[in-house]
């Protein structure tokens, strides 16, 4: 049977790729300043994961606001939500092993999956850039079953050999026994990385359409494992594209959030 080719846009690819990291029945959390992750979670719930339970940073459970807000801190996320809890209760659930996936990013991610949201520069007291900090990230990376990271603007400045400050620990000896490690999946605007549990190294999982291995190597500040045959990132299905445009994001918020690499 011949596979039907589906034409798609960059934003549809990224959102479907992130959505596919979520499974039916997962308890999923998205944090502040995460509209892309919010749309991806809503897409997963509307397509392949109807029993997914979505927790927002505000505490709204399974929200269905109309129209979709641009901010993940918008109070309209309580519109038509199924229930609501406090933010500390989300951490209580995680500490008891009842939270599955957190979308957790970093301004910098290194080869072991450690995340930096604290400083840029060698001197913590006099950094070149002071970042907002990890908030609940250090706890989430230790207590959630899986971590998924979205990293736009794939570059050697963001994907570094070693972060200058570890806000949330990855697959490093110092964190052994706390949790299995850092992000299980890192989706960027060029490719998909996964963490190998065999040797705690990042490996290339797939390349987005039109992106070459050489481009990814040039834009990554560390060496990574490369499979013998590199697949192209699976395109969004017609169902996912239609669901995005009709149900999840009819106003096209995603178009302003997700721009293809130049």
Percent of the chain whose predicted confidence (pLDDT) is above 70: 94
Beta strand pairing status for 159-160 and 53-55? Answer: unpaired
Q: Kindly state the DSSP code that residue 246 receives in the 8-state scheme.
A: I
Fold of 10-248: Glutaconate Coenzyme A-transferase (3.40.1080)
Beta strands at 101-103 and 83-84: parallel, antiparallel or unpaired:
unpaired
Q: Which of 97-101, 111-115, 186-190, 211-215 has the lowest mean pLDDT?
A: 111-115
- 194 forms beta bridges with 185, 203
Residue pair 107/83 in contact by the 8 Å Cβ criterion: no
Residue by residue, DSSP assigns 81-94 as -SEE--HHHHHHHH
Using H for helix, E for strand and C for coil, what is the string for 192-215?
EEEEECCCCEEEEEEECCCCCHHH
Per the listing, tokens 């395109």 go with: 235
Answer whether the bond into residue 37 is a cis peptide, omega within 30°: no
SS3 state of residue 256: helix
Beta strands across the sheet bearing 115-116 = 115-116, 108-110, 159-160
pLDDT tens digits, 92-129: 999 999 999 999 988 999 998 899 999 998 888 898 99
Distance CA 245, CA 144 (A): 31
Q: What is the pLDDT of residue 196?
A: 78
Instruction: Say if residue 3's pLDDT is above 70.
Output: no
Please write the tens of the pLDDT for every residue from 136-185.
888 888 889 999 999 999 999 999 999 999 999 888 776 665 556 789 99
pLDDT in tens, 6-62: 699 999 999 999 999 999 999 999 998 899 999 999 999 999 999 999 999 999 999
pLDDT, tens only, 50-68: 999 999 999 999 998 888 8
Contact call for residues 53 and 42 (beta carbons, < 8 A): no
Token couple for 22: 């979520």
Query: What's the pLDDT at 179?
Result: 55
Domain ranges of the chain: 10-248
Give the CA angle between residues 249, 209, 52 to the nearest 5°.
Answer: 40
DSSP state of 131: -
């Amino acid at each position: 049977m011949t596979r039907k080719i589906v034409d798609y846009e960059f934003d549809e690819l990224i959102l479907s790729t992130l959505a596919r990291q979520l499974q039916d029945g997962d308890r999923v959390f998205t944090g502040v300043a995460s509209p892309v992750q919010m749309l991806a979670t809503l897409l997963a719930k509307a397509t392949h994961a109807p029993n997914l339970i979505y927790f927002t940073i505000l505490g709204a459970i399974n929200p269905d606001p109309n129209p979709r807000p641009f901010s993940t801190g918008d109070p309209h996320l309580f519109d038509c939500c199924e229930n609501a809890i406090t933010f500390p209760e989300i951490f209580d659930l995680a500490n008891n092993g009842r939270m599955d996936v957190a979308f957790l990013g970093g301004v910098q991610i290194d080869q072991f999956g450690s995340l930096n949201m604290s400083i840029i520069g060698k001197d913590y007291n006099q950094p070149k850039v002071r970042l907002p900090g990890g908030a609940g990230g250090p706890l989430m990376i230790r207590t959630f079953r899986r971590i998924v990271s979205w990293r736009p603007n794939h570059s050697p400045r963001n994907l570094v050999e070693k972060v200058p400050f570890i806000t949330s620990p990855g697959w490093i000896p110092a964190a052994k026994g706390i949790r299995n490690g850092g992000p299980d999946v890192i989706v960027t605007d060029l490719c998909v990385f996964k963490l190998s549990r065999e040797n705690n190294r990042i490996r290339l999982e797939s390349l987005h359409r039109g992106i070459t291995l050489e481009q990814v190597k040039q834009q990554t500040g560390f060496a990574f494992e490369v499979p013998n045959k590199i697949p192209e990132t699976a395109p969004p299905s017609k169902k996912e594209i239609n669901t995005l445009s009709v149900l999840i994001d009819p106003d096209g918020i995603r178009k302003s959030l997700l721009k293809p690499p130049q």
